[in-house]
Amino acid sequence: MKELIIKNSSFEEDVLNSDIPILVDFWAEWCGPCKMLSPVLAEIAEENDAFKIGKVNVDKDPSLAQKYLITNIPCLILFKDGKEVNRMVGLHSKEEVLEFIQK
């Protein structure tokens, strides 16, 4: 499954109304750790169909970052049935991200 680019206008449909869990990566172009995490998430997205992975650029959609109280990036939030169920901040390995999703 490919990563989704999520915007404020599509957040409700892509995330809150998703029929399967979705991991949302809050990131920015200028963020070094975000750039390092991106290929890890892309690899996970390609290998898994049990959940989706989406990306929110905090500079382009600051209202979403504010709504979800994003103070540090990268910030991964796992949503299930339209609700936040877990979050993780910072750069993590593929194994750590998969473990986080499966908790």
**Would you please indicate which residues are annotated as catalytic (active-site) residues?**
31, 34
| Closest to 4 measured CA to CA, from 44, 49, 52 | 52
Please name the helix (run of DSSP H) or strand (run of DSSP E) that holds residue 32, with its range, or none. Answer: helix 32-47
Backbone φ and ψ for 68, nearest 5 degrees, come out as: -100, 15
**Quick one: CA dihedral 32, 33, 34, 37, positive or negative?**
positive
